[in-house]
């Protein structure tokens, strides 16, 4: 009886099968394509405001129905229908060595507006103290939402305001908006030693592609003329083994998003033995190989760290062995179609969100279907 009373006072519930496998994989794609170093050692985060800031606003769309379902469940379980706003939405991954001791989610004066957390659902106060054991391998990816009864902390209103400034009067520039723009280079620099961050660290965008077998090539003129932070904003090409994919990418974040999309959807691209113009590859010269090696030593100073933190726990060896640039080229086109679709949904939804000052699922305007 005492146990039941204690559980009731703590007010928490685990909701099973809240997300589909496809939804989980899509969120993983977004996180591995867009995350930055997080607020604690060995932690990486992706927030909705960061997606907007890096020209990846369209990635908000997959979150929308998930947020709606979770908010409805929280309000239903805690008996507070129509009382809550979403205060924060984010993807947070905990890599090897990351942990956090016992705590509650409103444990600072500036966090007292947090009333509920997801998923498992529980009150964010001291009745539900919890911790994260140290991660020993792989990445522990969590979707975190905090809910508040205080409407002044409504995340939706803030996001809608930023989106309106960026998108509302720029719908004629959809193709340009589909290309991501990296944040400042320090947001992507991961080091196990916070006291000396430049030593033995790595750029997480570079590292995530390296562990999947890709190298990054900048033209000799570009790499010699710019410093490292500027280089991340410049066009680049991808290499694998002795081959250089001829198609350029706008910047490192663009390349990373396509690579992660390809590995998410790899099974959907049939193996092709025929090379098209788009999938044309060049043989790397010795000077190009040296260029790749020299830059890698700058952006991945500790290769073992990159392998330990970012290498997938389960490697699809068959996929690695059957890699085809023709398939990869098909993925580039498929990624562009996927991004355009999300962006159309975002542009369709934004006027409705502005009217209601709330982010919710909207039916797609039929007039946008063919654009």
Residue range 231-252, pLDDT digits in tens:
999 999 999 999 999 999 999 9
Among the candidates 108, 135, 155, a domain finishes at 155
Q: Are residues 237 and 330 in the same domain?
A: yes
Q: What is the mean pLDDT of residues 118-145?
A: 74
Asked, for residue 91, whether it belongs to a domain, the answer is yes
The residue segments making up the domain with residue 150 are 16-155
Residue 346 domain flag: no
- Same-domain pairing of 196 and 146: no
- Rounded-to-integer distance, Cα 193 and Cα 175, Å: 40
Residue in this structure with the two tokens 């975002």, named with its chain if needed: 346
Asked whether the predicted pLDDT for residue 89 surpasses 90, the reply is: yes
Q: Is 303 a member of any domain? A: yes
Is there a single domain that holds both residue 29 and residue 108? yes
Do residue 209 and residue 335 come from a single domain?
yes
Pick the residue with more confidence: 38 or 127? 38
Same domain, 30 and 140: yes
pLDDT recorded at residue 227: 78
Mean pLDDT of 4-26: 72
Residue 257 lies in a domain: yes
Please tell me whether residues 148 and 210 are part of one structural domain.
no
For range 51-69, the mean pLDDT: 96
- Of 46-55, 172-181, 212-221, 226-235, least confident by mean pLDDT is 172-181
Same domain, 252 and 125: no
pTM, two decimals, is 0.86
**2 lies in some domain:** no
The answer to whether residue 61 is domain-embedded is yes
Please state, rounded to an integer, the average pLDDT across all residues of the chain.
83
Whether 196 and 110 map to the same domain: the answer is: no
Mean pLDDT calculated for residue range 138-142: 82
In a domain, 52, yes or no: yes
Region 249-268: what's the mean pLDDT? 94
98/139 same-domain check: yes
Q: Label residue 173 by pLDDT band (50, 70, 90).
A: very low
- What's the domain count of the chain? 2
Q: Which of 144, 131, 65 is nearest to 103 (CA)?
A: 131
User: Does some domain include residue 160?
Assistant: no
Specify whether 331 is located in the same domain as 261.
yes
> Does 194 share its domain with 143?
no
Examine the pLDDT at 183 and tell me if it is beyond 90. yes
107 and 196 inside one domain:
no
Per-residue pLDDT band for 311 (boundaries 50, 70, 90) equals: confident
Comparing 371 with 239, which gets the higher pLDDT? 239
* Percentage, residues of the chain above pLDDT 90: 53
What are the distances in angstroms from CA 294 to CA 3, 251, 255, 310?
A: 61, 18, 19, 21
Q: Identify the weakest region by mean pLDDT among 235-239, 259-263, 304-308, 357-361.
A: 304-308
pLDDT band at 194 (very low <50, low <70, confident <90, very high): low
Residue 5: the pLDDT is: 34
User: Which pLDDT band, with edges at 50, 70 and 90, does 16 fall under?
Assistant: confident
**117 band by pLDDT with thresholds 50, 70 and 90:** very low
**pLDDT given for residue 103 in this prediction:** 47
What pLDDT, on a 0 to 100 scale, did the predictor assign at position 277? 56
Whether residue 248 contacts residue 236, with contact meaning beta carbons closer than 8 Å, is answered with yes
> Is pLDDT above 80 for 281?
yes
């Amino acid at each position: 009886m005492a146990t039941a009373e204690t559980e009731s006072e703590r007010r928490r519930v685990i909701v099973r099968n809240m997300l589909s496998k496809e939804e989980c994989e899509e969120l993983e794609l977004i996180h591995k394509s867009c995350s930055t170093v997080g607020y604690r050692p060995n932690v990486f985060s992706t927030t909705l405001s960061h997606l907007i800031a890096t020209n990846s606003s369209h990635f908000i769309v997959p979150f929308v129905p998930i947020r709606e379902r979770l908010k409805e469940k929280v309000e239903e379980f805690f008996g507070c229908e129509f009382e809550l706003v979403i205060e924060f939405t984010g993807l947070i991954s905990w890599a090897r060595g990351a942990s956090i001791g016992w705590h509650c989610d409103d444990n600072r004066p500036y966090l007292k507006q947090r009333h509920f957390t997801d998923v498992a659902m529980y009150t964010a106060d001291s009745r539900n103290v919890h911790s994260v054991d140290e991660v020993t391998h792989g990445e522990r990816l969590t979707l975190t939402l905090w809910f508040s009864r205080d409407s002044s902390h409504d995340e939706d209103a803030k996001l809608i305001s930023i989106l309106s400034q960026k998108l509302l009067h720029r719908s004629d520039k959809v193709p340009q908006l589909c290309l991501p723009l990296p944040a400042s280079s320090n947001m992507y620099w991961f080091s196990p030693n916070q006291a000396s961050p430049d030593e033995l660290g790595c750029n997480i965008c570079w590292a995530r592609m390296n562990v999947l077998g890709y190298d990054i090539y900048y033209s000799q003129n570009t790499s010699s003329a710019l410093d490292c932070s500027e280089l991340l904003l410049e066009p680049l090409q991808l290499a694998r083994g002795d081959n250089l994919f001829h198609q350029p990418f706008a910047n490192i974040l663009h390349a990373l998003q396509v690579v992660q999309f390809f590995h998410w959807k790899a099974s959907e691209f049939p193996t092709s033995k025929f090379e098209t113009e788009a999938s044309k590859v060049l043989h790397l010269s010795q000077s190009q190989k040296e260029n790749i090696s020299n830059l890698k030593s700058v952006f991945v100073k500790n290769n073992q760290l990159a392998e330990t933190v970012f290498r997938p726990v389960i490697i699809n060896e068959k996929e690695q062995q059957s890699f085809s640039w023709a398939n990869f080229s098909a993925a580039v086109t498929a990624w562009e179609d996927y991004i355009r679709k999300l962006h159309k949904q975002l542009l369709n939804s934004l006027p409705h969100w502005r009217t209601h000052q709330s982010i919710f699922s909207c039916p797609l305007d039929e007039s946008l279907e063919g654009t």
